[in-house]
């Protein structure tokens, strides 16, 4: 990998694509050239980066000649078609879709957890699902100290997880509701303003779990390298623009106190403890939005478990940042020569 690689962003005009540019700029990612790739309808648009405007190019099979790192966030079908082409052209693909996550030959990486896996790539590295990342960044330091035996998660997922169009639908439908006007929803399957509903992923008729919930199960096991963790998730879409929240009930192998959990998380990378019972101040989407850390609070003993092995907590994380773009850029940083030298 070149010390100053040529970087391409696929899906540059989407919600995550915009955050890719912001993360690259704010983190002063060293690059020789930045290329912005998107569909034909977006080609010719310009996007600001480091004080100048860069023209968006149409994504084609020939787009990756001379590219060192390709950051993908354009959906599974685009990743499955163009990801292997980019890798064959010599680029390392960091893919934000679900296309390659469970491929045993593709590393699934969260830099705070398994950075060493990035070096095992064969041209493609997968970025985990947003709800998985936001849950496991604080869970991993706990798991290292006292193995997590069972996890029960309930998510409260923002519009940003369904893309820029869903965010706009939330804005427009909320405005219409406040003005007493009808609004025909088009992006999501149910009215969004002042409503919440089960995550809009397909439901398995056999298990009753939807795809989003099973992503949390399968991806957590792969990233932790522990296929025996028992996990159950319920994923819900809520009328929040960005930043997912999750209620996590954790059963450890050995007894674990809430104070010990707080102690461990207070020094964990990528985590910020926000836990003030006196002021009733805990993680909120408005505080998590725009920052890279996962906020953790409501840390308390599970009084329903007399063994003392269970703790409950509440987390909030920016879905567009740590849940997507930031994690991918952190993976790209692992590929740089300076990361290897460190």
Q: What does the pLDDT look like over 310-328, one tens digit per residue?
A: 999 999 999 999 999 999 9
Active-site annotation holder among 121, 143, 199, 244: 244
Q: Is the pLDDT of residue 341 over 60?
A: no
Share of the chain above pLDDT 70, in %: 99
Which tokens in the block code for residue 206? 């056999």
For the stretch 71-80, pLDDT in tens is 999 999 999 9
Name the E strands within 173-303. 197-198, 230-237, 244-252, 271-273, 294-301
Q: Is the pLDDT of residue 284 over 80?
A: yes
pTM (predicted TM-score): 0.92
d(CA 258, CA 252) in angstroms, rounded, equals: 12
Yes or no: say if 7 and 71 are a contact pair by the CB < 8 Å rule. yes
What are the residue boundaries of the structural domains of the chain, listed by start?
6-127+324-341, 132-319
Task: Report the C-alpha dihedral over residues 99, 101, 104, 107, rounded to 10 degrees.
Answer: 120
Instruction: Name which of 137, 185, 162 is nearest 238 in CA terms.
Output: 162
Quote the DSSP letter at residue 98.
Answer: S
Active-site annotation holder among 130, 143, 199, 235: 130
Q: Is the pLDDT of residue 94 over 80?
A: yes
d(CA 121, CA 195) in angstroms, rounded, equals: 42
Q: Is the pLDDT of residue 244 over 90?
A: yes
Please report which confidence band the pLDDT of residue 1 belongs to, taking 50, 70 and 90 as the band edges: confident
For the chain, what is the radius of gyration of the CA atoms? 20
CATH class name, domain 6-127+324-341: alpha beta
Mean pLDDT, rounded, for 58-77: 95
Classify strands 310-317 and 244-252 as parallel, antiparallel or unpaired: antiparallel
What 207-214 contacts at long range (C-beta under 8 Å, 24+ apart), as own/partner pairs, is 209/233, 210/235, 212/129, 212/131, 212/155, 212/157
Share of the chain above pLDDT 90, in %: 95
Placement of tokens 């991993």 in the chain:
140
Mean pLDDT, rounded, for 294-304: 98
Instruction: Name which of 95, 141, 143 is nearest 272 in CA terms.
Output: 141
Average pLDDT, the chain: 95
Q: What pairs with residue 178 in β-bridges? A: none
For the stretch 4-46, pLDDT in tens is 999 999 999 998 999 999 999 999 999 999 999 999 999 999 9
d(CA 118, CA 145) in angstroms, rounded, equals: 24
Mean pLDDT, rounded, for 281-299: 97
Q: Is the pLDDT of residue 283 over 90?
A: yes
Quote the DSSP letter at residue 239.
Answer: S
Please report which confidence band the pLDDT of residue 3 belongs to, taking 50, 70 and 90 as the band edges: confident
Query: Is 244 annotated as catalytic?
Result: yes
Mean pLDDT, rounded, for 199-204: 91
Query: Is 199 annotated as catalytic?
Result: no
Specify the DSSP element, H or E, that contains 92: strand 92-95
Q: Is the pLDDT of residue 169 over 60?
A: yes
Classify strands 46-49 and 33-38 as parallel, antiparallel or unpaired: unpaired
CA 319-109-59 angle, 5° bins: 70
Domain 132-319 sits in CATH at 3.30.360.10
């Amino acid at each position: 990998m070149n010390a100053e690689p040529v970087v391409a962003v696929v899906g540059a005009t989407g919600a995550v694509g915009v955050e890719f540019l912001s993360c690259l700029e704010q983190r002063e990612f060293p690059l020789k050239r930045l290329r912005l790739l998107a569909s034909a309808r977006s080609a010719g648009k310009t996007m600001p980066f480091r004080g100048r405007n860069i023209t968006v190019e149409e994504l084609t099979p020939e787009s990756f000649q001379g590219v060192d790192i390709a950051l993908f966030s354009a959906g599974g079908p685009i990743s499955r078609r163009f990801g292997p082409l980019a890798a064959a052209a010599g680029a390392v693909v960091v893919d934000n879709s679900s296309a390659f996550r469970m491929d045993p030959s593709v590393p699934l990486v969260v830099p705070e957890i398994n950075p060493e896996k990035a070096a095992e790539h064969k041209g493609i590295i997968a970025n985990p699902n947003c709800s998985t990342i936001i849950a496991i960044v604080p869970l991993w330091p706990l798991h290292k100290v006292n193995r997590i035996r069972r996890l029960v998660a309930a998510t409260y997922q923002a519009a940003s997880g369904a893309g820029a169009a869903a965010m706009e639908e939330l804005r427009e439908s909320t405005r219409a509701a406040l003005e007493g006007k009808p609004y025909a929803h088009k992006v999501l399957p149910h009215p969004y303003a002042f409503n919440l509903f089960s995550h809009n992923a397909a439901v398995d008729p056999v298990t009753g779990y939807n795809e989003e919930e099973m992503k949390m199960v399968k991806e957590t096991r792969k990233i932790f390298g522990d296929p025996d963790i028992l996990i159950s998730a319920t994923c819900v879409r809520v009328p929040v623009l960005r930043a997912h929240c999750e209620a996590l009930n954790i059963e450890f192998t050995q007894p674990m106190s809430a104070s010990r959990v707080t102690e461990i998380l207070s020094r964990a990378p990528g985590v910020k403890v926000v836990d003030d019972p006196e002021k009733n101040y805990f993680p909120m989407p408005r505080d998590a939005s725009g920052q890279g850390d996962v906020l953790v609070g409501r840390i308390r003993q599970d009084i329903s478990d007399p063994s003392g092995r269970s703790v409950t907590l509440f987390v909030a994380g920016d879905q567009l940042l740590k849940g997507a773009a930031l994690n991918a850029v952190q993976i790209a940083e692992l590929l740089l020569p300076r990361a290897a030298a460190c």
